[in-house]
Amino acid sequence: MNQKKTLLIVDDEENMRHMLQALVRRHGYTVETAVDGQDALNKIARDHFDFILCDIKMPNMDGISFLHKAKDDLPTSTVIMMSAFGTIDMAMEAIKAGAYDFISKPFKTDEVLLTLKKAEERELLRQENRLLKEQMEEIKTGEGFDKMVATSTGMLSLFTLARKVAPLTTTVLIIGESGTGKELVAKGIYAASLRCRQPFITVNCGSIPANLLESEFFGYVKGAFTGADKTRKGLLAEANGGTLFLDEIGELPSDMQVKLLRVLQEGEIKPIGTNKTQLIDVRILAATARNLEEAVRQGTFREDLFYRLNVLPLTIPPLRERTEDIPLLARHFMHKFNLAMERNVRSITSEAMERLLAYSWPGNVRELENSIQRGVVLAEAESIGLEDLPPRLLAASTVETPESQEPCFCGFSMKEAQKIMEEKIIRKALRETRGNRLQASKLLEISYPSLLGKIKEYGILIEVPAK
């Protein structure tokens, strides 16, 4: 140990104190002794001790009473109780009172040292968790780029460019497959912009039914239509002075594309039910997983709107093209879920990491995050092993391209097989409808929101095949 740990031995038997003192000093501890609970209280009032070995049966003040009275003075000390009259009930009482462990006398010297070693490892883990919690709190209070973990050249170049465009008012188009972190990049641009104290409004263009899009974007006045019992601001008005992030911009129907183009050109909106226009000052950040240039050629996306949006394009590379980020991301998510679920998974085995690096990640960072969450939940030891990873990762033998990959199944779980088949049918429906999710939901005979949820769950990348 680089720094000696301090230890207090509390026991009314002089021989026991001397024996334990000689034993632990040989293993690098700085030791003090106390003859009973009251003496120990006086010692901890003056000095801090990393560990305390305390007998239970003592005159004047026993070990359990000492634990209760010293509770407020021992927030960072690890207490191990000892007794020659040990019972399960006594051990449980000691642990409930705040003890870390309980050992019965007589004990072997190895037993004491092993218990201290376990206690020291526990304290080290507690310190790591406290540090991680502080780091996670910093991440939570940060925005965008501070929340993104990457060391690859492609991502670092993206961050550099994004920081350059952040202070401007220019429209930015963020391009990337599903799950790559487009919204985090948008939040990073917003946080580094001059509008960071103004509203940041996010809307997924594919999640709003077509008949509600205009009212959601532009708002309406009271009496504009049946059910409009009060005037309501639209998203554009709510974002006035700030930033509006349009996720999945490629899902906008053609009539809304025309209306959005006018907003970008004229800087004004007209709520439903009125002829009066309102000037607005909104910076538009848009994102898409679709190839908008191909959509323009196919006539499903307006060319003039595309050029309005594509002033400063930022392309996020898929995870399969930046595998050097996978170990860093995996450990980041492992620590995140350790804190969230109070788990102590400390590493990923080399075999599991090899599988993470070999997989193609069609769902990108989101799919990796879900896989690590599963690993943290299932890990029975301190490491995530192969058996803790999703079956689809184990079934994939090589890195595959999204076009060639089909869900596969190896095993006997009916639930897992149903999920694989469900994903396969959804992919087929999306190919059949050329990526039109509304049409795909009709083919699949499920609701539109249900389909969106399943696309997100399975990390399905929407790509429009060439004619």
- Distance, CA of 106 to CA of 222 (rounded, Å): 83
Residue 142 located in a structural domain = no
Is there a single domain that holds both residue 17 and residue 29? Answer: yes
Identity of residue 332:
H
The residues near 350 (Cβ < 8 Å, ≥ 6 apart) are: none
> Out of 36-45, 138-147, 156-165, 317-326, which region has the weakest mean confidence (pLDDT)?
138-147
pLDDT single digits (tens) 394-442: 875 443 444 444 455 555 555 666 777 788 888 888 877 777 788 888 8
E strand residue ranges, 181-224: 200-204, 219-220
Determine the pLDDT at residue 147.
63
According to DSSP, residue 272 is labeled B
Determine the pLDDT at residue 399.
39
Kindly report the CA angle at 260 between 257 and 262, in degrees rounded to 5?
110
SS3 266: helix
Determine the pLDDT at residue 451.
83
Is there a single domain that holds both residue 295 and residue 199? Answer: yes
Residue 123 located in a structural domain = yes
Is there a single domain that holds both residue 313 and residue 334? Answer: no
- Distance, CA of 331 to CA of 140 (rounded, Å): 17
- Distance, CA of 462 to CA of 73 (rounded, Å): 58
CATH number for the domain harbouring residue 398: 1.10.8.60
Does residue 54 contact residue 31 with C-beta atoms inside 8 Å?
Answer: no
Identity of residue 365:
V
Is there a single domain that holds both residue 206 and residue 288? Answer: yes
Segment 88-95 shows an average pLDDT of 80
What pTM was estimated for this model as a whole? Answer: 0.56
For residue 449, the cross-strand partners are none
Share of the chain above pLDDT 70, in %: 88
- Which of these three, 257, 284, 317, is where a domain ends? 317
- Which of these three, 387, 405, 423, is where a domain ends? 405
Query: Strand order of the sheet with strand 243-247?
Result: 200-204, 243-247, 283-288, 172-175, 312-315
Task: pLDDT band for 140, please (50, 70, 90 cuts).
Answer: very low
- Which of these three, 254, 287, 317, is where a domain ends? 317
Identity of residue 18:
H
> Out of 15-29, 68-82, 161-175, 359-373, which region has the weakest mean confidence (pLDDT)?
68-82
Is there a single domain that holds both residue 177 and residue 274? Answer: yes
Q: How many CB atoms lie within 10 A of CB 131?
A: 11
Is there a single domain that holds both residue 336 and residue 378? Answer: yes
Residue 183 located in a structural domain = yes
CA distances from 228 to 44, 231, 245 (A): 69, 7, 26
Is there a single domain that holds both residue 311 and residue 165? Answer: yes
Is there a single domain that holds both residue 422 and residue 382? Answer: no
CATH number for the domain harbouring residue 62: 3.40.50.2300
Is there a single domain that holds both residue 343 and residue 194? Answer: no
Query: Strand order of the sheet with strand 51-55?
Result: 29-34, 5-10, 51-55, 78-83, 101-104
Nearest one of 160, 152, 189, 157 to 173, comparing CA atoms: 189
> Out of 5-9, 48-52, 68-72, 463-467, which region has the weakest mean confidence (pLDDT)?
463-467
Kindly report the CA angle at 84 between 83 and 87, in degrees rounded to 5?
75
Does residue 247 contact residue 289 with C-beta atoms inside 8 Å?
Answer: no
- Per the structure, the count of domains in the chain is 4
For residue 203, the cross-strand partners are 246
Given a cut of 90, whether residue 261 has pLDDT beyond it is: yes
Residue 231 located in a structural domain = yes
Is there a single domain that holds both residue 160 and residue 294? Answer: yes
Is there a single domain that holds both residue 194 and residue 310? Answer: yes
Is there a single domain that holds both residue 205 and residue 277? Answer: yes
Domain that holds residue 302: 150-317
Does residue 291 contact residue 463 with C-beta atoms inside 8 Å?
Answer: yes
Segment 98-106 shows an average pLDDT of 84
